[in-house]
Amino acid sequence: MGYLTPFFHLKVVSMRQLHQVIKRTGAVVPFNPDRITNAIYRAAVAVGGRDRQTAETLTHQVIQLLEENGLLDQIPTVEEIQDTVEKVLIENGHAQVAKAYILYRDERARTRRDRASRASAPSTNIPWEKIWHVLDWAVDHALHTTAALNERIQRNEMPEIIRESETAYQEDVDTAVEMIAGRSRTVRMVIVSGPSSSGKTTTTIKINQHLQHLGCKLVTLNVDNYFYDLSLHPKDEFGDYDFETPQALDLDLINQHLSQLTAGQEVQIPHYDFKTGARTAETTPMRLAQNEILLIDSLHGLYEGMTSSVPPEQKFKLYLEPLFQIKDSRGNYARWTDIRLIRRMLRDATHRSYDPSQTIEHWHYVRSSELRNIIPHIQQVDFIINSAMPYELPLYRHKMLDQFTFWAEKYQNDPLRQDAYERAVRVRDLLSEVLPFPDDSIVPADSVIREFIGGSIYSY
């Protein structure tokens, strides 16, 4: 792997003596050595290494050192284990992996501090000007609180709410198209980015259609074909693979192909088989003509390491987010990440037969990657599209409230599922305040919401 070289001289020790760990919350949870292995392997992946066997070997050494220091005679804390991991990595010459591990650990600590002091200073990662316009629109249309939304539903105004919401979204799409067309002489790549389930796929299709009417031809590069084989992905102690990190993609090959494509050269696009979890020998030739623009719909489109081979002036960066501006009865704004969580559950169930409980249990990975690789780049984009539809909530109340109520009870006393529990409670409380609207047939067939609930005229 280059960054982790096996150490075969290590003494393999028994892990049966260490049974429990004290979390930062004070909760005592079962010890799982896979958590150490996965943390080491994740840090290695971040710097280009992919040798899980060595990560497992180093885990044995971490536990051996804990034993030598007498920490196995008591219940160790997470901090004590992490300190030992850093020591083992550094002493065995894995400086780059140790740095990645330390940076990630520091980032998590900073995130915890930020949560504690969030009210003291505004975040630089939030598009305040855009949010102001969205809030102003919500107030003008009496959609800024759950109570106001319910009043309009009771007045049988759901069709009007849908029409108003779709019109606002379409105006954003039209503005983006006009901006891209105005730079068509220099732009060689349009990047449609945003966090999971923000509506990138539908919006990309719409932008493509509109630009073609203006004489611009777009060619889509599906970066999913650049995934590394599944066996090389990091995973956690529950067996969940982390697809949310940019390092899950072959960034070197992507940049090589982007540089060649924007220079007018032909490349061979790989093929990734999601059923087998591996890239195959099959490839597809691709070349950009003089009048064509490369279109990338990617979760990590704003991550500089993905498109660093293309000059900034040749890129147009578009960002999507459901910028909901609606308060509940306690004065709390609906969280955008919670709306996207619901969307992803519905989409995965509709299109992928994926158990929604797996989505909520995996969501902390999604959110962690967003906070590292997507959200910090919002201020660099050329335009932001708001994909929020206030009428989503009445639809989701009917479809999902019972499940979130179930999860809130299921995870309540599970310290390993604290994140899932907090999200379940928050979404349950929000949906409980909204009147249900079970008939989704009035949602337009080309709506971005159809990407998640099904019934779209587009093929995904």
Q: Would you say the pTM of this structure is higher than 0.85?
A: no
Is the residue at 1 inside a domain?
A: no
Is the residue at 385 inside a domain?
A: yes
Highest mean pLDDT among 88-92, 106-110, 431-435: 431-435
Residues 97 and 216 in one domain: no
**What CATH number is given to the structural domain containing 245?**
3.40.50.300
Pick from 64, 57, 62, 59: which is nearest to 6 by CA?
57
**Who has greater pLDDT, 130 or 63?**
130
Residues 69 and 145 in one domain: no
Domain of 143, in residue numbers: 125-453
Is the residue at 435 inside a domain?
A: yes
Task: Report the number of distinct structural domains present in the chain.
Answer: 2
Provide the percentage of residues in the chain whose pLDDT is more than 90. Answer: 50
Residues 145 and 56 in one domain: no
Residues 207 and 225 in one domain: yes
Model pLDDT, residue 235: 65
* Structure-token pair, residue 44: 């290695």
Residues 408 and 435 in one domain: yes
Residue 269's φ and ψ, nearest 5 degrees, are -75, 130
pLDDT bucket at 342, cuts 50 / 70 / 90? very high
Residue 294's φ and ψ, nearest 5 degrees, are -75, 130
**Who has greater pLDDT, 214 or 263?**
263
Residues 107 and 132 in one domain: no
User: Which of 116, 137, 171 is where one domain is finished?
Assistant: 116
Residues 171 and 231 in one domain: yes
Mean predicted confidence (pLDDT) in 283-305:
89
How far apart CA 261 and CA 268 sit, in angstroms, is 10
* Structure-token pair, residue 65: 């050192």
User: Which of 116, 137, 153 is where one domain is finished?
Assistant: 116
Residues 108 and 137 in one domain: no
**Is it the case that residue 328 has pLDDT exceeding 50?**
yes
Is the residue at 229 inside a domain?
A: yes
Is the residue at 15 inside a domain?
A: no
Residues 182 and 260 in one domain: yes
User: If you write DSSP's letter for every residue of 103-121 in order, what string do you get?
Assistant: HHHHHHHHHHHHHHTGGGS
Residues 201 and 346 in one domain: yes
| pLDDT tens-digit series, residues 99-144 | 887 877 777 676 656 554 544 455 667 888 899 999 999 999 999 9
189-210 as b/e, with b when 16 or more CB fall inside 10 Å? bbbbbbbbbbbbbbbbbbbbeb
**Is it the case that residue 171 has pLDDT exceeding 60?**
yes
Residues 101 and 155 in one domain: no
User: Which of 81, 116, 151 is where one domain is finished?
Assistant: 116
Is the residue at 11 inside a domain?
A: no
**Average pLDDT score over the chain:** 86
Mean predicted confidence (pLDDT) in 376-396:
94
pLDDT bucket at 8, cuts 50 / 70 / 90? very low
Is the residue at 12 inside a domain?
A: no
Is the residue at 279 inside a domain?
A: yes
Residue 153: which residues within 8 A CB-CB, separation 6 or more?
Answer: 161, 394, 435, 437
| pLDDT tens-digit series, residues 14-44 | 444 677 887 766 667 788 888 888 888 888 8
| pLDDT tens-digit series, residues 235-292 | 655 666 666 678 889 999 999 999 999 999 999 999 999 888 889 889 999 999 888 8
Residues 94 and 158 in one domain: no
